[in-house]
Every structure is written in structure tokens, then in C-alpha cells.
Structure 1
Amino acid sequence: MRLLLIEDEKELADALSAALGKQGIVTDHTMSLADACELTRQNTYDAILLDRRLPDGEGLTFIPKLRRAGVETPIIVLTARNEPIERIEGLDGGADDYLGKPFLIEELMARLRAVLRRPVNLVEPQITVGRIVIDPLHLNVTIDSTPLELPRRELLVLLALAKRKDKTVLRSTLEAAVYNYEEEIQSNALDAHISRLRKRLLDASAGVTVHAIRGVGYLLKEE
């Protein structure tokens, strides 16, 4: 899952991005509406987390701009402006949900799952490849109903490959699924994640193999 976080309090944004990262979520962060507009033109997000008080304007003005551009990504407003009339303004302004600060990360995750379950925003159903079953919404991986524990980045690589099984996935596509746009990516980082993932899948008799397509990317095939 990839989110866009629009929040001008950097300390809060860093903490939230780290907490979401532990849940297997890649988060792109920006502090302004102008940069958010550019990021939504360049990328596709599963959800957007939006503050209201931003340096270049009221966050709610961003919602109709996105909708006019045909972007239907669910938006959760995260704000200290949490009086009943302000929550009504947010929901009437097009937000899919409205969460007052401070909040628990567990509540935010529950609200994310709720908006992503709605038919228009429905994420992929469970993915089965080989003996592996992946739940993209909860980021759970099992082999014959037994949980397979994977580090976050390896799990995101596996999900990106499994969604396109039997097809070559470009390195750039895999990197976008694993890293946010602010992170510096070492030249061999992706290869290292895939090497460790390949060994874990082999040790677990997962019934799949990750093949390198030289100079292009990787491909996941059932054995």
C-alpha cells in the first residue's frame, strides 16, 4: 500500500511515516498543497492523509481539485480542527473520513481498512500463487495457513511480484512499491531484498521462484 501524507508538522509526519512503515505501508510526504498536486499527477496512491492547516492554504480545497481531475483516491483528513462543525465541514467537503489529532495509529489503520473496503476503493482480494496466500489489505502472508513472517521491504517486493505473477516486473516498479520518493536507494538494495526473499521462499517450500530478468527486472513463477 502506498499513501500520500500532506502534513506540515515534520516531527509528526516523520513519526507517522515510521509507524505506517511498520505496518508495511510506503508513505510519500509533502508539506504543501502545491507539491501534493504534483505528486498526485506523477503517482497513484491507495489513500491520502490530509491536514487542514497548511502553509499554502486550507487542506479541504485540495479535495475538489482532485475530484475534478478524476482522482477518486480515498482521503482521510487528519487535523486538530476537530469540533463537530469542523468535522461536518470536512465530510461535506468530500473527505471519506475525518480523524482528530491526537489519534492512535491503530485507529488510523482501522479507518484506512474501512475506506479501502468500500466498493469504489476496494483493494485487491487475496492473492494466491504457489502455496502462498497474500492478504493485501492486512499485509498477511501464509503458506498452507501457516503465517510466513517477512521483513517489510521483502513483503512489499513479494506483493508487487505476486500481483503480476508470470510477468516481468520492472526494477523501477518494484522500487516504487518499496521506497518512498524521498529515500535514497542504493544500487544493490533491491537485489539484496530479493536475494533474501528468494531464500526464505525456498526454505518455506512456497512453491514459487523469483527469476531475474537481466537488466530489466524480476518475475515470479509457480514451480
Structure 2
Amino acid sequence: MTRNPGKPASPADLRALDIFEFATSGRQAAGALRISQMPRMLAEVPSDVSDVSDASDASGNPAAGEDDTVFTWQAEGSTQPELQDDGVEAPQPYLRLAVHGSVWLRCQRCLSPYSQHLDVDATYRIVATEEEADEYPLDDDEVEVIVGSRQFDLIDLIEEELLLSLPLVPKHTVCPEVHESLLSGSAEGSADDESEENSAADAADKPNPFAVLEKLKPGVSGGGKH
């Protein structure tokens, strides 16, 4: 997307954007954000990813290291007619946001860093108050609701969407290797299982103390009253 003429979108503008004017004017904007500009996203990156090779991998993923992690974004404002409470249709503000890029995470299976691609493509209905947001019908899964303002932080919205796109359990599709701690854990688990089996076998060989008590009950052979 390209910006409308005469409407620059500097980083300062993105932190204090008149989102209603952006939508009603049908403005468009595009840019790039480094992960260092998004502290909550930066906190999700392993501190030692800079130890990974600086070269891009065979799949074309960006080089490791927080300075090289860049997300491209595109935003477009628009209006759509909606039926109001008085039965009259009126244009209402909408925002479409697309974000693409990769972030380095730690695989929870092999414990090594890997590049996770993230894609965001979201459409928002812009409302003026929290009350309107709470009352807005949620029958359209393709549209989210955000509370707009004349000082809207678009970068914060981009960061929020990227955080929501992170996997719950980061991991490779196929791990290049298994971490040695996981291997040793499996060996210890096997040893524990074998120990439990031996203990169960030893317990089976021991006489049951309750069997002796059974013989002492009245009416049991060898255990009657004298």
C-alpha cells in the first residue's frame, strides 16, 4: 500500500495517529518496525540468539540477532455503511492491518533458537468508547473491535497482534537434533521404570501379613477356639 499524498506517516505520527480521520479519509500507510522498537516482543526473543550465525538460512529467513529482525506492515482506513438505531445507514470507520516477518524463538523440544514466521491480517471496526466496544455484536469472526482516538498508537496495535500470533509452545516443525538433557531425562525415566518393576516383583514374593490374620479368624481351619 502507498500513503495518500500530503499525509506523511512518521514514527511519531504512528504513536499519535488520528485513527478516525485515517479511516474516513481512506488513507493508506506502510512501513517497517524493528523488534527493538517493540519491548514486549523483544522480551520474547532468547537473549542468546545473537550467538546464532548472522547469515540468512536456506529458506531466506532473516539473520539472527534483534537488530536484524524487521516486520513490514501495511494499514488501510475505510468506511462501510451500517444500519443505525434510527434505521438510517451511515458510514462507519474501519481499519485493515497486515504485518509480516519472522522472530527468533527457542524451541521447547530441542532447546535451540529457530526462526518463526508471523503473519497478521486483521480488520477492525473502530468505535469511540469502551461501552460501544462492549455492546458491539460479535457475530462476525472476521472483524475485531478497537476503541479509537485522535491520538491512537498504531505501533502498539501492531505489537499486540504480533504477540497474539506467537505460538503457545515454540518448536521446530522437525528438530535438527535432540538436546542431550532430554536424552538423559529419557534414560533416567527408563531406569526409574525398571526400579519400580523390581520393587513390585519383590513385593509379590513377600508373604502377605493379612493372610496370617485370616487364619486366626474363628471358623478358619487351624485357627478355631480351644
Is TM > 0.5 for Structure 1 vs Structure 2?
Answer: no
More helix by share: 1
TM-score, with length taken from structure 2: 0.24
TM-score, with length taken from structure 1: 0.25
User: Comparing both chains, which one has the higher relative contact order based on Cα–Cα distances under 8 Å and sequence gaps of 6 or more?
Assistant: 2
Say which one has the larger Rg. 2
